[in-house]
Amino acid sequence: MRKRSWGFVAVGLLVALLLAGVVSNYASSHPDGLDSSLLKGCTVNADDEITGGSCPARQAKDHELADSPLADYGIRGVDNGFLSTGLSGVVGVLLTFAVGGGVFWLLRRRGPADTADRQSAGTAG
Per-residue model confidence as pLDDT tens digits over 63-75: 888 888 888 888 9
- Confidence band, pLDDT 50/70/90 cuts, at residue 114: low
Instruction: Give the predicted TM-score (pTM) of the model.
Output: 0.66
3-state secondary structure labels for all residues of the chain:
CCHHHHHHHHHHHHHHHHHHHCHHHHCCCCCCHHHHHHCCCEEECCCCCEEEECCHHHHCCCCCCCCCCCHHHCCCCCCCHHHHHHHHHHHHHHHHHHHHHHHHHHHCCCCHHHHHHHHHHHHCC
With a cut of 70, say whether residue 56 has pLDDT above it: yes
